C-alpha cells in the first residue's frame, strides 16, 4: 500500500499533530519572531528529541527507530501546519540520512547517535549561489598532509544559525559546474577559521551565512568517498526535497483551512463572502490542486521506504507541485482575507512569508520541472 | 459468497487464468479498432467475427457484468473476485467483450430501484448484449440545470403519453431502448420527475444525429410525439425519478473520469514531448529546444502524473474502507482539464501538421490528433460541466454556503 | 479663458518654461527620497530645505492645483494649459511640490458639492499645503461593501455627535482634518449616509497605526468617541453623502492605477530579467539560462508593455474626445496584477537573496524588493478589491445582469 | 497620434466592416466549406479588388493607394470578425511589401501593379518545417547559367492553393540554420517542375503543399539581393505578423461579442447564465486582455507607418499577445456556450478552428516571446 498509513504511522501522525497544535502553534513562531529569537528554539528541540522525532530515519544501532520517510513525512506535515521552526529536515533528514548511508562506524557513534537522540543539531552547507545548484560548488578543499583545508562562502545555510555540526560540501577536484570532484566534510561549529553569521529571514525561521577561511579537517571527518559527494548527496537531497514537500503540504493545507473558515464567517453585502461563486470556484480549484499534490507527496514518501527506482522523479514531482501549490494558496489566502490579511496581526502574512522560503529550498519549481523533464529525456 | 479467504482468491485467480487462456480468442488480445468495438443490441454487426464468440462466452458466465446477481444472469462475483477477473483480463490484454450504457449506468440503477419483474425482464438482455440502451436526460432548455426538463408524460390510465425533446442522447440512433427522465408534475421541479424506459422503435420516436465540431456524430436530438408507454415501464414511484437520475449520474461521471471518453489510446498518437522534439528540434543535450514549450509540457506531464496517483490513492483508500468522496469529486474536473491541456499541447507541438482536416496532404495520425483535440473540448461539458463540478466541490465538499 | 488658440498655448508654454527655469530649485529637479516627499500639514518637517521654497512658490501661483478656480487660490488653468505645465515640469524632472489627498480626492469633491463658505474655508489651505487631509471611509465591517458603514452621527441640534470606528485611514496619525462618511439614517443603506469633515484634534478622536505584513504602517484604525462636529461641516445634504463618496472613489482609483502606490521607482531595484541573469546565469548566447523563468519574465514584460500602451491609448483617445470609460475601467485591475507579478518574479529571480527581513546579511536592495513584494499584495485590495473591479467591468462595461 | 484613427482611416474601417458583414459573413465561410471550395473564392477576390484593398500597401505608381499599415489593419480586423478567407495578407501585405521594398522596375510593373489591382494572387513559400523558422530553409537553388534551378519542399503555404505567383525562398549559399545564403525567387504557378497540392485545412481556408523539382528561374526573377533574403524578409515578415495580429484581434473581438450575447440570453436554474459571478469574472478578464492586446496591435500598425525602430519588438508583442488572446477567447467561447458550442451547426467551432491557424502562422506565441526577449537582450 502506497497511500494508506499503517496503524503505527497513523499514530505517529496523530502524535505529531497534537504536539504541533499544543507545543508549537503559529503563535509560537510569532513569539519567537517578536522576541528576536531568530528562529533558535532550544525548548522545542528538547521536546522533539523527547518524542524521538530526530531518530525516525536513524538505524536502531544508533538509537534511532528506523521508522522511515512516510513516518517522517507525517511529522513534517504537522510541523508545516503551524509553521513550526525546527531543524528536523536539516538534522533529522539530511544529516541522519547522510551519516546512515555513508558514515564510518566511528562517525556513526560520534555523530549519528547524538543526532538521533536530538543532542546535536546539524546543517548542510552546500549551495553558494542564490539558487539551488549542487554542481556549482566552488569552495576549495586543499590537501594538507593529514587532511584538507577548506576555504569558501556558503551564503544561506538552513538551520546553520544553531547547528553544532556542518556537512560542508567542498571541491577536492575539478571546476565549478562539474559533477565529479566534490567531497563532504564534517565540520564542528567551533572549528578554527569557521565564522557563522546568523541571518534574520523573512519567515522568522532564520538561517546562517558561513565563511570558511582555512578550516582544517582531518581525513577521519570526510563523509563518504572523496570526489564522489554527489553520489551520496543525490539520494540525501531527494529525501530533503520530499521532506520539504511534506512540510509545505502541511502549510498549504492549514492556509487553505484558515481561508475556508474565513469564507464561511466574513460577511459583505449581507452575504457570507464564501457564497460568492467566483470565490467558490477559486476555492474548489485550490482544493483540487491540494488533493492532487497530496497524492504526489504520499507517493514520494513511500517510494523512499520501498527503495523504489522512481524516487528521483517523484522527489522532483512532489517538490515542484508543492511549490506551485503553496504559491497559489498563500496568495489566495491573503487576497481572500482582504485588508485584514495585510495586517501583521493576522497570520496570513506569516504563511505568505514562509511559503516563499519553502518554494526556494532544495530547488524551486522551475529547477524541478527542468530536472523532471531531463530524467524523462525531453 | 460472504467473504473471501486469501486461499479462495488464489484458487479463483488460477481458475480465471485457465478459463481465459482457453476461451479468449488470440485475436481478442489486441487493442480494438474503433469500429470493432462491440456495443451489442439489434444493430450490432460484429465487425470482427471473433468478437461475437468472445461476447457469448463471457456473457454465458455473466462476466460482462461480474458483480451482478446470478439470479439475473450476472457473474455473482465478490468485489475482490471482480478485481481479479479485471487484472487477469488486463494481463493478457483481453478486449472488453461489451461496451454498454446498460452495464455502466442503467443496470446498476435498475438493480437498486427496479421491481422484481423489471429486473427479470431487462437485466439478462443487458448482460448478453442483446439490448442496447441510451440515456434520455438533457433537453434544449435543461443542460446544467437537468431538473428543468420539460418532456411531458401524461397519465392516460393504462399508459403514459410522452411528448417532448431530448438532446445529447448518446447513440440514440443505434439504441433499442431508452431510459428517460420525464415530467409528471409541472408544479414540483425535482419532485415532479419520473423515470421511464421504453422501446426506441415505438411509434412517435425520432432520433436525429447531431454533427459535432470534430465531424463525428455520437449524439442525437431525440423527439417524442404522442409516444405510448405501458405503465409497467415506470421505474420506481411516480414523481420519484430524481433520486434515481442522480444515482445514475454518479455512474456516468465515474465512467467519464475513468478516461474512457475523448482519449487517444491505441490511436498511435505520441505524447506532445515527442512531437516537440520532432518538429521543433532538440539541443545538444538531446532535449526540446524550446524551453518555454518544454516547461509547459512538463507542467502538464506532472499534472497527469498527479492525476493518476490520485486515482490510485482513492482506489487504495476505498479498498481500505476510507471515505474517498472528497478525492472522487475532483476527478471529473481534473480529467477534463488534463485531457484538454494534453490535446492543446499536441496541437501546438505539431505546428502546421495539426492544421489539417482531411486528405493525404497530412499525416493521418496528426489528423486524428486534431479531431481528438476538437472532441476533447466536450470533456468539460458532457456529464456535468466543469462549472457544475466546481459548484459541487465548493458546496458539498468544502461546505461553502448558497448565495442568499 | 473659454478656449485656447494654438498661439495662446505656445506663449503660455514659453512663460511656464521661463518661470520654472527661474523658480524651480536645482535640488528639486532630482527624484525625491521617500522621506523627502512633502505631504504638507501642521506636522510637515520639510526634510529637504528647498522643498519648502518650492512648495511656496508653486502654491503662490496656485499651480499645486492648476485647474482649480483662482477665486479659491487655484491656478485657474485650462486643461490644455495644465497639460503644458505638467509636460514642462517633467521636462526638467521637477518634483511634485506637494502630495495631497486634499488635492487628489477631497478638493475636487468639495468644489463640486460644497457650499461657498466651505470652499472659501478649506480650499486655500489645501492649495498651500497648510492642511493635510485623511479619508474616513472603510470600517471593520464595511470593506468592499462600503455602504455597510455603521459609524453614527447623531443630530444634537447645533452639532453632530460621532461614534464609531474607521480602518485603513491612510496617514490618519499625520493628518490635520478628515473627510468622513457617517450614518445619519439606520433604515436607509445608501440613502442614510452623510459626508462630514472635522478636525483630527477634536476631543474623542484616536488614530492607531496598523502594522502591515511589510513592516510599514501607512494606515490607521481610527476611533471616534462622542466627537462633536459643528453642523456647518456637513458637505452637501443630510443623507446625501453617498453620491459624493462614489465620485471621490473615482479620483482614488485613478490615482492608484496611475501606479503611485507600491511601485519601486527610484529604489534602485532592477528588473527580474537582470537578477535572473545575475543569479541563475546566462547561456553561451548571453541569455537567461532558465528557459522556463525567461518565458514567464517575458510574458510579464509583454503584459507591462501592453499596460503602458493602453494607458497611452486611453490618454490619446480622451484628448481626442472619445469615450474611454471602457479602457479606464480595466486599468486598476491590470495595474495590480502587473505590479504583483513583477514582484513575484523579482523574488523568484533573487532566490535566497530575497528571503531576508533585515540585517547586513542581505543586499539592502534585495531587502527593499522583499518589502515591496509584501506591500504589492495590497494592490489588489486597496481602493476596491480586484474582485470588485471585475464585478464593475462585468456589470457596468459588459452589461451583464445582476443575479436575481 | 498612435491610437486615434484619422478620418480616412476610420472611413476605411467602416467600409471594411460593412463589407465583411454583408459580403463575407461567417455563413459565407461555412458555405465555402460545405461546398468543398477549399477556401478558393474568386468572387470575393474580385470584390476586394474593386474596393482597392489589395493596393493599400502599394505605391501609387503601381496603382496602389499607399494607404499604409494602419489602414490595412482596419481591413484585416474586419475580415477577422467574420473569419473571411482571403489572401489579403499573402498578396496584399507580403507580396506587395516585398515587391515595393526590393522589386526591380520590371518586376514592379510585371507583378506589383497587377497585385495592387487584385489581378494576381501571390503566396510566400518560406517555411519547410511544421514551425515558423526562416533560417531553417533547405530548398536548394543551384546556378544554371542564365539563372537558378530550385529543388525542395514547402509543406504548408498559406494562400498557395490559388496563388498565381510564388515568392519562393531557397538557399543559394550555406547550410540550413544559417541566416546568410537565402534568396527570394519569383515563380509563376505554371512553372515546369512546380507541383501544387491543395490542402484541406481545419479552418476551411485551405493552403498548399509545394514540391519544386528542378524549377528553373531566370536571374531577372530574383527578388532583392542574392544570399540576402532575410534582410528583405525581416521587415516583410514583421508586417505579416502585425497584419495577422490585426486579423486575429478581429476574430477574438467577434468571438467575445458572440459569447457575451449568449451569456445575456441563455437561462439555466431560472437565471441568465451571464449573471453567475464566476462567468462574469472570466468575461471581465477576457475583456481586459482584449483591450490591452488591442493597444499592442494599434501600436504595431502605426509603428510600421512611422518607420519606427521598434517595429520588430512590437510585431512580436502583437503576434504573441493576439495568439494568447485568441487561444483563451476561443476556448472560453466553446465552454461558455456549453453543448450547443460543440455542434457543427453553431459558429463557435469555426472560431475555434480558425484560432489555432492564426496562432501558428508567422510564428507562435512561444516563438515571439523568445524573439521579444532576444531583442531586449535577455
Summarised one tens digit per residue, pLDDT across range D332-378 is 999 999 999 999 999 999 999 999 999 999 999 999 999 999 999 99
Q: Is the per-residue pLDDT at D31 higher than 80?
A: yes
Predicted confidence band of residue B23 (pLDDT cuts 50, 70, 90): very high
Average pLDDT over every residue of A317-332: 98
For B170: left if phi > 0, alpha if psi spans -120 to 50, otherwise beta; the answer is beta
**Chain A interface disruption, residue of C190, C339, C351, C388, most A CBs within 10 A:** C351
Residue B263 has pLDDT above 60, yes or no: no
Cα–Cα nearest to D226, from D115, D166, D154, D147: D147
Q: Is the pLDDT of residue C2 over 60?
A: no
Between chain B and chain D, the number of residue pairs with CB atoms below 8 A apart is: 116
| Interface contact A280-D278, CB threshold 8 A | yes
Q: Do C295 and B295 touch (CB under 8 A)?
A: yes
Q: Do C359 and A200 touch (CB under 8 A)?
A: yes
**Cβ neighbours of residue B46 under 8 Å, at least 6 residues apart?**
B38, B52
For residue A366, list chain B residues with Cβ-Cβ distance below 8 A. Answer: 295
**Nearest CA-CA distance, residue C188 and chain D, Å:** 26
Chain B residues touching residue A277 (CB < 8 angstroms): 391, 403
Q: Is C144 on the interface with D (CB under 8 A)?
A: no
- Residues of chain D in contact with residue A281, where contact means CB-CB under 8 angstroms, are 278
Residues β-bridged to residue A185: A168, A222
Beta bridge partners of D201: B356
Where residue C404 falls among pLDDT bands split at 50, 70, 90?
confident
CA of D224 to nearest chain B CA: how many angstroms apart?
28
- Please return the burial class of D341, using the count of CB atoms within 10 Å of its CB with bins 0-12, 13-18 and 19+: buried
> Do residue B294 and residue C290 have CB atoms under 8 angstroms apart?
no
Residue length, chain C? Answer: 404
Tell whether C289 is within 8 A of chain A (Cβ).
no
Would you state the pLDDT for residue D47?
98
Dihedral sign from CA coordinates of D253, D259, D261, D264? negative
Structure confidence at residue B385 (pLDDT):
93
Cell readout for D29 is 465561410
The helix-helix angle for D229-263 and D311-337 (nearest 10°) equals 30
pLDDT at residue A21, rounded to an integer: 97
Cα–Cα distances (Å) from C100 to A231, B372, C262, D34, in that order, read 63, 60, 17, 65
pLDDT at residue D230, as a whole number: 97
pLDDT band at D28 (very low <50, low <70, confident <90, very high): very high
With an 8 Å Cβ cutoff, are B377 and D342 in contact?
Answer: yes
Closest partner residue to C168 (CB to CB) among A127, A339, A345 is: A339
**pLDDT average, residue stretch C158-162:** 96
pLDDT above 80 (res B260): no
Binary contact (A276, C352; C-beta < 8 A): no
Interatomic CA distance for residues B241 and C79, integer angstroms: 69
Helix (H, G, I), strand (E, B) or coil at B226: strand
Which of A4, A287, A369 is facing B393, going by the closest CB pair?
A: A287
Residue A357: DSSP 8-state: H
Mean pLDDT, rounded, for B218-244? 96
**Chain position carrying cell 523568445:** D370
Size of interface B-C (CB pairs under 8 A): 16
Dihedral sign, CA of C340, C341, C342, C347?
positive
ipTM confidence: 0.92
Q: E-assigned strands of chain D?
A: 122-125, 140-143, 147-157, 165-171, 182-188, 194-201, 207-218, 222-223, 267-268, 271-272
pLDDT in tens, A266-310: 999 999 999 999 999 999 999 999 999 999 999 999 999 999 999
The answer for residues whose C-beta is within 8 angstroms of residue C49's C-beta and 6 or more apart is: none
List chain B residues with CB under 8 Å of D326.
none
- Check CB contact under 8 Å for C213 and A197: no
Does B294 contact C291 at a Cβ distance shorter than 8 Å?
Answer: yes
* Phi, psi torsion values for D56, nearest 5 degrees: -60, -35
Q: Tell me: pLDDT of D14 over 50.
A: yes
| Alpha-carbon separation of residue B35 from A300, B32, B46, B64 (angstroms) | 41, 8, 9, 20
| Chain C touching partners, 3 or more CB pairs below 8 A | A, B, D
Residue B220's SS3 state is strand
Residue B72 CB neighbours (<10 A): 21
Mark yes or no for CB contact D284/C398 under 8 Å: yes
Exposed/middle/buried for residue C24 (C-beta within 10 Å: 0-12, 13-18, 19+): buried
- By C-alpha distance, the chain C residue nearest D369 is C298
Number of Cβ within a 10 Å radius of residue A60: 10
Looking at residues C348-368, what average pLDDT do you find? 95
pLDDT above 70 for C260: no
Is residue D110 helix, strand or coil? Answer: helix
Contact D264, C400 (CB under 8 A): yes
Suggest the residue from C393, C397, C402 to mutate for an interface test with chain D (most D CBs closer than 10 A): C393
Least confident of A166-170, A171-175, B166-170, D93-97: B166-170
CB nearest C390 (choices: D285, D292, D317): D285
pLDDT average, residue stretch C344-354: 97
Where does residue B326 rank: exposed (0-12), middle (13-18), buried (19+ CB within 10 A)?
middle
pLDDT computed for residue C230 by the predictor:
97
Res D167: pLDDT: 98
Mean pLDDT rounded to a whole number for chain B: 92
Q: How far is D217 from chain B (nearest CA, A)?
A: 26
Q: What percent of chain B has pLDDT over 70?
A: 96
Residue B265: pLDDT band (50, 70, 90) is very low
**CA-CA distance, D169 to D182, in Å (whole number)?**
7
- Closest-CA distance of chain B to residue D59, Å: 33
Q: Yes or no: say if D198 and D211 are a contact pair by the CB < 8 Å rule.
A: no
Question: How much is the pLDDT for B143?
Answer: 84
For residue C262, pLDDT over 70 is answered with no
CA distances from C347 to A106, A241, A353, C275, C367 (A): 43, 20, 11, 9, 10
Would you say residue B262 has pLDDT above 60? no
Q: Active-site residues of B: which are they? A: 252
Pair D43, D24: CB distance under 8 Å = no
Q: Please check whether residue A259 is in contact with residue A314, taking contact to mean a CB–CB distance below 8 angstroms.
A: no
Residue A53 has which C-alpha cell? 522525532
Cell 474607521 identifies what position?
C166
- The CA distance from A59 to the nearest CA of chain C, in Å, is 33
- pLDDT of C261 strictly over 50: no
pLDDT at C322: 87
pLDDT digits (tens, 9 = 90+) for D233-271: 999 999 999 999 999 999 999 999 999 999 999 999 999
Residue of chain A nearest D282, judged by CA positions: A278
| Residue C250, pLDDT above cutoff 80 | no
* pLDDT surpassing 80 at residue D287: yes
β-strands D271-272, D147-157: how paired? unpaired
Q: For residue C402, which residues of chain D lie inside 8 Å, CB to CB?
A: 275
Nearest CA in chain B to A368: B298
pLDDT at C6: 80
**Chain B contact for D200, CB < 8 A?**
yes
Distance CA C276, CA C344 (A): 12
Question: Does residue C29 sit in helix, strand or coil?
Answer: helix
- Distance CA(B126)–CA(B69), nearest Å, equals 13
C201-216 residue pLDDT tens: 999 999 999 999 999 9
- Per residue in A96-142, pLDDT (tens digit) is 999 999 999 999 999 999 999 999 999 999 999 999 999 999 999 99
pLDDT recorded at residue C265: 44
The whole-number pLDDT of residue C79 equals: 84
Distance CA C112, CA C106 (A): 10
CB contact under 8 A, B393 and A298: no
pLDDT, position C268: 81
What pLDDT is recorded for position B254?
Answer: 66
Asked if the model's pLDDT at residue B2 lies above 50, the reply is no
Residues of C marked as catalytic: 252
Mean pLDDT of A186-211: 98
The answer to whether D288 contacts C316, with C-beta atoms less than 8 Å apart, is no
Give the gap in angstroms from C-alpha D296 to the nearest C-alpha of chain A: 29
- Subunits adjacent to chain B (3 or more Cβ pairs under 8 Å): A, C, D
Is the confidence at residue B330, as pLDDT, over 70?
yes
Is the CB of A204 inside 8 Å of chain C's CB atoms?
Answer: yes
A342 and C213: CB-CB below 8 Å?
Answer: yes
Backbone angles phi, psi at A290, to 5 degrees: -60, -50
Quote the CA–CA distance of C104 and C249 in Å, as a whole number: 10
pLDDT at B318: 85
Minimal Cβ distance to A284: which of B313, B320, B394 = B394
Q: Do A338 and C215 touch (CB under 8 A)?
A: no
Tell me the three cell numbers of residue D222: 530574383
Q: Which residues pair with B194 in a beta bridge?
A: B182
Q: What is the rounded CA–CA span in Å between residue D36 and residue D53? A: 26
Which residues of chain B make contact with D266, given a CB cutoff of 8 A? none
CA distance linking residue D72 with residue D13, whole number of Å:
9
Given a cut of 70, is residue C168 above it in pLDDT?
yes
Residues with Cβ < 8 Å from D351, sequence gap 6 or more? D83, D251, D254, D255, D258, D330, D333
- pLDDT reported for residue C259: 43
B303 touches chain A (CB under 8 A): yes
Q: Which residue of C has its CA nearest to B288?
A: C291
Question: What is the model's pLDDT at position B256?
Answer: 60
Q: For position B32, what pLDDT does the model report?
A: 84
C chain contacts of residue B301, beta-carbon cutoff 8 Å? none
Average pLDDT over residues A319-323: 98
The closest alpha carbon to A304, from A57, A61, A91, A4, belongs to: A57
Residue B300, pLDDT above cutoff 90: yes
Interface contact flag, A321 B302, Cβ < 8 Å: yes
- Pairwise CA distance, residues C393 & C395, whole Å: 6
Cα separation values, D77 from D13, D26, D82, D84, D96, Å: 9, 14, 9, 10, 19
What is the pLDDT, as a whole number, of residue D1? 62
Most A CBs within 10 Å, among C349, C361, C367, to test the A interface: C361
- Distance separating alpha carbons of residues B206 and B221, to the nearest angstrom: 8
User: What pLDDT was estimated at residue B264?
Assistant: 39
Q: How many residue contacts between A and C have a Cβ separation below 8 Å?
A: 114
C213 neighbourhood in chain A, CB within 8 Å: 334, 342-344, 348-349, 352-353
Verify whether the Cβ–Cβ distance B386 to D335 is below 8 Å. Answer: yes
Measured from the Cβ of residue C152, the count of other Cβ atoms closer than 10 Å reads 15
How far is Cα of residue C288 from the mean position of the Cα atoms in its chain?
36
SS3 A210: strand
| pLDDT tens-digit map of D179-231 | 999 999 999 999 999 999 999 999 999 999 999 999 999 999 999 999 999 99
Enter the C-alpha cell of residue B80.
475482490
Q: Would the pTM count as exceeding 0.95?
A: no
Q: D202: helix, coil or strand?
A: coil
Amino acid at each position: 500500500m502506497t497511500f494508506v498509513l499503517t496503524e503505527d504511522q497513523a499514530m505517529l501522525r496523530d502524535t505529531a499533530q497534537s504536539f504541533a497544535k499544543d507545543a508549537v502553534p503559529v503563535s509560537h513562531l510569532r513569539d519567537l519572531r517578536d522576541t528576536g529569537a531568530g528562529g533558535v528554539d532550544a525548548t522545542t528541540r528538547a521536546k522533539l528529541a523527547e518524542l524521538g522525532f530526530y531518530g525516525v530515519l536513524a538505524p536502531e544501532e544508533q538509537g534511532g527507530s528506523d521508522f522511515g520517510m512516510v513516518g517522517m513525512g507525517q511529522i513534517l506535515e504537522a510541523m508545516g501546519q503551524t509553521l513550526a521552526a525546527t531543524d528536523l529536515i536539516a538534522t533529522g533528514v539530511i544529516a541522519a540520512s547522510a551519516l546512515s548511508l555513508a558514515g564510518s562506524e566511528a562517525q556513526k557513534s560520534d555523530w549519528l547517535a547524538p543526532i538521533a537522540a536530538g543532542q546535536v543539531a546539524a546543517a548542510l552547507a552546500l549551495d553558494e549561489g542564490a539558487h539551488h545548484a549542487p554542481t556549482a560548488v566552488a569552495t576549495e578543499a586543499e590537501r594538507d598532509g593529514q587532511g584538507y583545508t577548506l576555504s569558501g562562502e556558503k551564503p544561506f545555510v538552513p538551520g546553520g544559525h544553531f547547528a553544532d555540526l556542518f556537512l560542508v560540501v567542498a571541491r577536492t577536484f575539478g571546476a565549478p559546474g562539474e559533477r565529479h570532484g566534490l567531497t563532504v566534510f564534517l565540520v564542528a561549529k567551533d572549528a578554527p577559521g569557521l565564522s557563522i553569521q546568523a541571518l534574520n529571514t523573512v519567515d522568522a525561521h532564520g538561517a546562517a551565512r558561513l565563511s570558511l577561511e582555512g578550516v582544517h579537517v582531518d581525513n577521519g571527518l570526510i563523509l563518504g568517498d572523496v570526489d564522489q559527494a554527489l553520489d551520496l548527496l543525490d539520494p540525501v537531497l531527494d529525501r530533503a526535497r520530499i521532506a520539504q514537500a511534506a512540510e509545505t503540504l502541511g502549510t498549504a493545507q492549514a492556509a487553505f483551512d484558515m481561508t475556508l473558515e474565513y469564507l464561511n464567517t466574513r460577511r459583505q453585502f449581507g452575504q457570507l463572502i464564501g457564497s460568492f461563486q467566483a470565490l467558490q470556484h477559486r476555492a474548489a480549484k485550490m482544493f483540487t490542486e491540494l488533493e492532487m499534490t497530496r497524492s504526489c507527496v504520499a507517493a514520494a514518501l513511500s517510494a523512499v521506504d520501498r527503495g523504489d527506482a522512481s524516487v528521483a522523479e517523484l522527489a522532483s514531482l512532489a517538490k515542484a507541485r508543492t511549490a506551485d501549490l503553496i504559491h497559489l494558496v498563500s496568495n489566495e489566502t491573503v487576497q481572500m482575507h482582504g485588508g485584514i490579511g495585510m495586517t501583521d496581526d493576522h497570520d496570513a502574512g506569516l504563511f505568505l512569508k514562509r511559503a516563499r522560503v519553502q518554494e526556494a529550498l532544495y530547488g524551486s519549481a522551475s529547477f524541478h520541472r527542468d530536472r523532471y523533464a531531463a530524467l524523462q529525456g525531453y | 459468497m460472504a467473504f473471501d479467504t486469501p486461499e479462495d482468491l488464489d484458487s479463483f485467480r488460477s481458475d480465471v487464468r485457465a478459463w481465459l487462456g482457453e476461451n479468449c480468442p488470440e485475436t481478442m488480445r489486441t487493442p480494438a479498432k474503433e469500429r470493432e468495438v462491440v456495443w451489442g443490441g439489434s444493430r450490432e454487426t460484429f465487425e470482427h467475427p471473433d468478437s461475437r464468440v468472445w461476447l457469448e462466452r463471457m456473457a454465458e458466465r455473466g462476466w460482462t457484468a461480474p458483480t451482478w446477481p446470478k439470479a439475473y444472469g450476472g457473474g455473482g462475483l465478490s468485489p475482490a473476485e471482480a478485481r481479479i477477473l479485471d487484472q487477469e483480463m488486463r494481463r493478457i490484454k483481453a478486449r472488453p467483450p461489451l461496451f454498454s450504457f446498460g452495464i455502466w449506468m442503467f443496470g446498476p440503477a435498475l438493480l437498486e430501484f427496479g421491481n422484481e419483474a423489471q429486473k427479470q425482464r431487462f437485466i439478462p438482455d443487458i448482460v448478453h448484449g442483446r439490448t442496447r440502451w441510451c440515456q434520455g436526460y438533457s433537453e434544449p432548455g435543461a443542460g446544467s440545470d437537468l431538473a428543468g426538463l420539460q418532456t411531458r408524460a401524461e397519465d392516460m390510465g393504462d399508459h403514459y403519453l410522452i411528448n417532448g425533446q431530448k438532446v445529447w442522447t448518446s447513440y440514440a440512433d443505434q439504441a433499442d431502448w431508452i431510459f428517460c427522465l420525464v415530467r409528471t408534475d409541472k408544479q414540483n421541479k425535482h419532485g415532479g420527475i419520473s423515470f421511464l424506459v421504453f422501446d426506441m422503435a415505438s411509434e412517435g420516436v425520432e432520433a436525429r444525429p447531431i454533427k459535432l465540431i470534430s465531424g463525428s456524430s455520437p449524439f442525437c436530438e431525440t423527439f417524442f410525439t404522442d409516444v405510448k408507454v405501458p405503465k409497467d415501464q415506470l421505474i420506481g414511484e411516480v414523481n420519484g425519478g430524481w433520486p434515481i437520475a442522480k444515482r445514475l449520474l454518479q455512474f456516468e461521471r465515474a465512467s467519464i473520469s475513468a478516461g474512457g471518453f475523448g482519449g487517444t489510446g491505441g490511436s498511435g498518437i505520441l505524447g506532445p514531448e515527442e512531437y516537440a522534439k520532432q518538429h521543433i528540434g532538440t539541443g545538444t543535450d538531446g532535449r526540446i529546444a524550446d524551453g518555454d514549450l518544454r516547461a509547459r509540457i512538463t507542467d502538464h506531464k506532472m499534472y497527469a502524473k498527479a492525476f493518476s496517483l490520485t486515482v490510485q490513492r482513492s482506489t487504495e483508500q476505498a479498498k481500505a474502507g476510507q471515505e474517498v468522496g472528497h478525492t472522487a469529486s475532483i476527478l471529473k474536473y481534473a480529467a477534463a482539464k488534463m485531457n484538454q491541456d494534453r490535446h492543446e499541447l499536441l496541437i501546438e507541438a505539431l505546428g502546421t501538421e495539426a492544421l489539417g482536416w482531411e486528405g493525404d496532404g497530412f499525416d493521418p495520425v496528426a489528423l486524428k490528433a486534431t479531431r481528438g483535440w476538437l472532441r476533447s473540448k466536450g470533456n468539460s461539458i458532457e456529464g456535468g460541466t466543469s462549472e457544475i463540478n466546481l459548484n459541487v466541490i465548493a458546496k458539498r465538499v468544502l461546505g461553502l454556503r448558497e448565495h442568499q
